[in-house]
Structure 1
Amino acid sequence: MRAKMNNDVQTDQTRPPRSASGHSFRFRTIREAELAIACILAASLMTGTALAQTTNMPNQKSDTPSEIAKRKVQKKKMILLGSDTAEKRTVRPGARPAAAITPQPDHFAKFENLRIKGLEVNLPGPADTLVQDKGGIRSALAEIGIGYIAWTQNTYVNNLLPNAAKSTIANQLYSGQNPTFYTLNYMMVTYDLSRYGIPDGQIIVGTEQQSWTWQPGGPDRWGINTIAYYQTFFDRKLELKVGYLMNSYELAGTVVGGNPGANVFGPSSNVLYQGGMNFAPAPTPTLNLTYHFDDRLYNKVSFQRSTSPDGVFAHITANSTGLDWSTANAGILLLDESGYRNSAAPGLPETWLRAGVGFNNSHYTNLAYPTQPRADENSLYYVAADRQLWQSHVPDAASRGIYGGFSVMGAPPDLNKVTQYYELRLYAKGLFDSRPSDQISLVATDTVWSKFAVDAAAAKGNLVHRDAKAISGTYTAHLGPGIYASLGLTYIDHPTSITYTPQIGHALNFSASTSIFF
């Protein structure tokens, strides 16, 4: 997940502004994005006529009376059989002994309403955590309406190429130039308000701590990542979420495969973050409204206070706790995303199409006229699609198989250091029967720099490059409940931002990471 704050954004002190060319670019890109949205939604509707079943949306319709009765009967059976029911079950030949003492799925159903609501990423449920319900602590908290999830991600990155101009940490120019280590730690607690008659009501409070050996990658901080209120209206057609949010988990879908635990190295574009989108280390006051036209077609509008127009590092340095209501030169970011999404089901491949536009009235520095006063009216757009290409286990695990996807993002070159971003991805879930919950991903990216920023650097006599290409492969093993380990290899043509020297023109970064959920 933190690959989104890679070396390019981390070293950016991005400052954009207003120009005649910028205005025409913005209106053209927004109109093109709107046309892309219309095309995608039209394709979605045509595709929808050929699809049979509805899918497992995060906001499912209310249970029918028969389903409620069935659960009551199951609950009575559990009570009569006792808490050691799982241990008394017959173990199938060849099954791992741990499976015989692991609480059954029915045991975890009571925690579903306590999982964080309103997210696009798939945080593991209590059954896929290290502690599960050991000692009955999670059950005791659930009785009073409290749920929680905590996790830690620890990552090591190092360039394997010889003669890579190793330097001191203080002079390091990109993640991996010297051996780089960082740790990201989260704790999030929910409180169920539906017990008071509020439809799907929930309060979410979370904190995030991070530490980096290379400070531009972070920097170090401890503070909030979420303080939010959530509820639904009109039979779950409308979702409302308000508070200090991290929209990187709620819009655009930048994590390959949707699970941050299984995709630590999923590349993502800097376009969204230089455009002002908030994320875990930099939450800001936000109001999100999502309207579901049906179980698949949706539109999401976000009004958020922008992060600093001077970049991620400047924002976190100025507001490390995340509690400040305002940030210097930061205004309002309006984002709108339309999409079509269905989960995998037997004979129904998973599909997610989305397109969005953003408008930000923060005060950016114009890269074409850097000595002039700050301007405003920055913008961005994105179009992305993911499709399951093959289902390997249709009857019992429809989500297993091979997927493909792409992303295209853009922003005005006079206000943004990264002006275009392209990504192609191919990934597989549960490709091997012996490893049914592992994931493999292959991702190719191209990051295009602003022509104004490149020309300015070249005028000073620097070696410059106009884009940075990369290709990465990652294998993520699900080692046990709540435990993921990833190994990755990424080749980057020009890993630094715009300027470079011959010794740092290329990198082959080896990555090793663990993600543990509690």
Structure 2
Amino acid sequence: MLARFDQTADLDLDQDGAELFAQALDEAALTRLEAALAALPANVPGVRIGEGRKLKPFLGVAGPIGGIAATALGPDARPVRAILFDKTSERTILADHLGVRDALADIGIGISPINTANFQYDFLQNDRGYRGPQLYNGQRITRTNTTASLTATYDLGRIGLKGGQIATTLSIVDNSFPAVNGPKKIRIGRLHYYQDVIAGVLDFKAGYIDNTQEFLGINVGGNLATGNLGPQATIPFQLGLSYGGFAAPGINVRVRSKAGFYNKFGIQRSLPPGGATAENAVNPGGFRFSPPGTGVLLIDEIGFNRASAPGTKSAWVRFGGIHNSTRYTRFSDGAQKDNWAVFVAADRQLTQTDPAKPFRGIYAGATFNYAPPEQNFFTQYYEGRVYGVGLIKSRPFDLASLVTTYNVYSPEGLRARVPTTQSFYKGTWAATASYAYRAAAGIYIQPGLGVTVHPIFSPRFEPALNGYLSLITLF
């Protein structure tokens, strides 16, 4: 997942008020950065010269460079060549303590431990006296997700494969409500080979991949660390797309133009109908190539992406489709057929408050997903979002967001699941406001408050007022 964090490595070289930014995806920019650094005096604040430390970034993992502000708009706004981080990792908790990361970087290895914890509670408890088992997140104090993961990478340029990288992640995932949030598990989070074939034009990734971090742009601002509160898109997971903690074998190929247009195509072994619980039952470690009940998932995304720059506001428009050959059961007659979905989304930077940090400003975006109601319980998803990056000048990497969503349930699915004597709702609407605060190097705190109307389709509970708390630590 860490590949989502940063598309731009920013180095604050405050010399005479000037700041220098190096685009992580641009070899020419890295070359210019090297030249600029070489020309600087040895005592420039923030730049350590000597002690055997190399100045040029490397293909490895040491922790996110700057947080949300560096992402522009997401992984395909400035499509990630590989997982690229500052070698000295000065924006993680451990940084380069005792020179361990620096020594590993010298042989092409990067490491990054990350812990996440998410909590939710409904302050209103409008469940009309219900005393049965928990039915939705927040009905009781809910730890919706706790993940401890370790990502390691190796720069294949060290053995002659320039632009190549091996990346792997091991994840321990836990939560207090598995019926909704999926099973507790220890699994492979990723194990893939990335290769930049033609710089800036063609690349591919093959292996066990987390495709929700490769397609769609689900997180607000395209950032996993600070953009995970608010969005509630379920349809891609319902279709069997691989996601965090549940990687699946596949290959993704991307073609892009210098003008910002791109096409990204993926072939993936699908997750089985039933999602994480069904996948974990037949493939607990995550290594099985083709467990029973799975088929071939195809996904294609076409879009236009322009990163922010001084005088230029960022924009990201994408649309595409998913097809899964796995047999899904229809609600009406029990017949089985393959499955599909379509998606469209757009994000646009509205204001640009700081030419030196062009990513700072206010953004707006919208998303729509559709899947046929005959065999998908969630059949339509609508999302609107407004978010600000670096609204406070002294805190350029914080993100404030307001996200509203509406999930539509399948009429056929409701008739199949709800007893005829029991009433139900046809959809769930929610609005969530949150602020992601970079408390210290490697520590992100994101509190949120949200209203959910119809927190469950049946029985008919009153609206919920949910408090959220997300904690992310990067070591």
- TM-score calculated relative to the size of structure 1: 0.78
Aligned positions of 1:262-281 closer than 5 A: 262-281=226-245
Aligned to 2:162: 199
Note the C-alpha offset of 1:165: 5.8
The one-letter amino acid of 2:374's match is: D
The one-letter amino acid of 1:392's match is: T
Cα offsets for 1:96-136 (capped at 9, x unmatched): xxxxxx66699785344224999559987534211222221
Matched, 1:469 2:410: no
Note the C-alpha offset of 1:429: 0.7
What SS does structure 1 have at the residue aligned with 2:333? coil
Q: Are the aligned partners of 1:360 and 1:376 in contact in 2 as well (CA < 8 Å)?
A: no
Note the C-alpha offset of 1:295: 5.1
Match of 1:59 among 16, 25, 40: 25
Separation (CA, whole Å) in 2 of partners of 1:447 and 1:66: 47
What SS does structure 1 have at the residue aligned with 2:59? helix
Matched, 1:386 2:347: yes
What SS does structure 2 have at the residue aligned with 1:315? helix
Q: Are the aligned partners of 2:341 and 2:369 in contact in 1 as well (CA < 8 Å)?
A: yes
Note the C-alpha offset of 1:476: 1.1
Aligned to 1:342: 306
Note the C-alpha offset of 1:436: 2.3
Note the C-alpha offset of 1:434: 3.3
Aligned to 2:458: 499
Note the C-alpha offset of 1:457: 3.9
Separation (CA, whole Å) in 1 of partners of 2:60 and 2:417: 51
- TM-score calculated relative to the size of structure 2: 0.85
Aligned to 1:113: 59
Taking only aligned residues, the RMSD between alpha carbons, in angstroms, comes to 2.7
The one-letter amino acid of 1:179's match is: I
Question: Could you tell which deviates more after superposition, 114-123 or 290-299?
Answer: 114-123
Q: Are the aligned partners of 1:425 and 1:444 in contact in 2 as well (CA < 8 Å)?
A: yes
What SS does structure 2 have at the residue aligned with 1:499? coil
Matched, 1:240 2:199: no
Aligned to 1:174: 136
Considering Cα pairs closer than 8 Å and 6+ residues apart, tell me whether 1 or 2 has the greater RCO. 1
Separation (CA, whole Å) in 1 of partners of 2:332 and 2:220: 34
Q: Are the aligned partners of 2:125 and 2:464 in contact in 1 as well (CA < 8 Å)?
A: no
Matched, 1:252 2:216: yes
Question: Could you tell which deviates more after superposition, 353-362 or 116-125?
Answer: 116-125
Aligned positions of 1:225-374 closer than 5 A: 225-294=189-258, 296-370=260-334, 372=335
What SS does structure 2 have at the residue aligned with 1:391? coil
Q: Are the aligned partners of 1:386 and 1:405 in contact in 2 as well (CA < 8 Å)?
A: yes
Note the C-alpha offset of 1:64: 8.4
The one-letter amino acid of 2:123's match is: L
Q: Are the aligned partners of 1:190 and 1:204 in contact in 2 as well (CA < 8 Å)?
A: yes
TM-aligned CA distance change 1:163 to 1:357, over 3 Å: closer
Match of 1:487 among 434, 438, 447: 447
TM-aligned CA distance change 1:143 to 1:56, over 3 Å: closer
TM-aligned CA distance change 1:487 to 1:462, over 3 Å: same
Separation (CA, whole Å) in 2 of partners of 1:414 and 1:105: 63
TM-aligned CA distance change 1:298 to 1:138, over 3 Å: same
Q: By percentage of residues, which structure has more helix?
A: 1
Q: Are the aligned partners of 1:491 and 1:507 in contact in 2 as well (CA < 8 Å)?
A: yes
Aligned positions of 1:383-462 closer than 5 A: 383-394=344-355, 396-457=356-417, 460-462=420-422
Q: Are the aligned partners of 2:359 and 2:389 in contact in 1 as well (CA < 8 Å)?
A: yes
Question: Could you tell which deviates more after superposition, 458-467 or 118-127?
Answer: 118-127
The one-letter amino acid of 1:505's match is: E
Matched, 1:509 2:466: yes
The one-letter amino acid of 2:211's match is: N
Cα offsets for 1:289-340 (capped at 9, x unmatched): 0011225111100000000112232223332321121232210000000111
TM-aligned CA distance change 1:67 to 1:256, over 3 Å: closer
Q: Are the aligned partners of 1:281 and 1:316 in contact in 2 as well (CA < 8 Å)?
A: no
Q: Are the aligned partners of 1:426 and 1:443 in contact in 2 as well (CA < 8 Å)?
A: yes
Q: Are the aligned partners of 1:166 and 1:178 in contact in 2 as well (CA < 8 Å)?
A: no
TM-aligned CA distance change 1:436 to 1:355, over 3 Å: same
Note the C-alpha offset of 1:226: 0.5
What SS does structure 1 have at the residue aligned with 2:376? coil
Q: Are the aligned partners of 2:23 and 2:30 in contact in 1 as well (CA < 8 Å)?
A: no
Note the C-alpha offset of 1:58: 4.9
Matched, 1:189 2:146: no
The one-letter amino acid of 2:59's match is: N
The one-letter amino acid of 1:401's match is: G
TM-aligned CA distance change 1:367 to 1:114, over 3 Å: same
Note the C-alpha offset of 1:285: 0.4
Cα offsets for 1:372-428 (capped at 9, x unmatched): 4xx23211110000000001112x111011000000010111121111000000000
TM-aligned CA distance change 1:446 to 1:353, over 3 Å: same
Q: Are the aligned partners of 1:389 and 1:403 in contact in 2 as well (CA < 8 Å)?
A: yes
Separation (CA, whole Å) in 2 of partners of 1:153 and 1:67: 33
Match of 2:96 among 119, 129, 133: 133
TM-aligned CA distance change 1:65 to 1:127, over 3 Å: closer
Q: Percent identity?
A: 31
What SS does structure 2 have at the residue aligned with 1:137? helix
Gaps of 5+ in 2: 2-20, 65-73
The aligned length equals 435
The one-letter amino acid of 1:393's match is: D
Q: By percentage of residues, which structure has more strand?
A: 2
Separation (CA, whole Å) in 2 of partners of 1:350 and 1:56: 17
TM-aligned CA distance change 1:61 to 1:494, over 3 Å: same
Aligned to 1:16: none
TM-aligned CA distance change 1:392 to 1:311, over 3 Å: same
The one-letter amino acid of 1:300's match is: K
Match of 1:156 among 110, 119, 131: 119
Separation (CA, whole Å) in 1 of partners of 2:212 and 2:222: 12
Q: Are the aligned partners of 2:248 and 2:270 in contact in 1 as well (CA < 8 Å)?
A: yes
Separation (CA, whole Å) in 2 of partners of 1:436 and 1:104: 23
Aligned to 2:18: none
